[in-house]
Amino acid sequence: MADFNSVGLQFVQYYYNQFQVNRAELVNLFTDQSMLSFEGEHFKGTQQIIQKFQSLGMQKISHQIVTHDVQPSSTQGGILIFVTGLLKMDEDAPMKFTQVFHLNQTPGGSYYVHNTVFRLNLG
């Protein structure tokens, strides 16, 4: 297994770059068993998750990652990632956010998002 810190950092950089550039490309990171919790709403499977991303309607979006913490999980080759940062949508003021990813390893050695939880830190 690759070093979990390296995998976590590479994943975070790729995910947020693709979210800014072309959210549809994120489809390759999810499976039909994946689950997204986004501001309390739950979406299961690739189709529902990508539809949610596309429905956000923001023309311009950027993430500034402040911290990311990575740990190996108890699942086979799994990785847990906790991200904090600033989210800027269109011309709105930046907002603080947190996101957690649970990555699982495929038999071929690549990773997919099994679970992710996203929350804005309001208040």
Q: CATH code at 87?
A: 3.10.450.50
> Residue 114's pLDDT is what?
97
What are the structure tokens assigned to 78, written together?
């799994």
> Residue 60's pLDDT is what?
84
Q: Per-residue pLDDT tens for 107-117?
A: 898 999 999 99
| Mean pLDDT score, 69-84 | 92
The whole-model pTM stands at: 0.93
For 60, which DSSP code? S
Question: Rounded to an integer, what is the distance from CA 50 to the centroid of its chain?
Answer: 12
Task: Identify whether the C-beta of residue 102 lies closer than 8 Å to the C-beta of residue 80.
Answer: yes
Q: Per-residue pLDDT tens for 90-105?
A: 888 999 999 999 999 9
- Please give the residue range of the domain that contains residue 20: 4-120
Q: Residue 1: which of 69, 103, 76, 88 has the closest Cα? A: 76
Among 7-16, 18-27, 31-40, 111-120, whose mean pLDDT is lowest? 18-27
Question: Helix, strand or coil for residue 11?
Answer: helix
Domain tally, the chain: 1
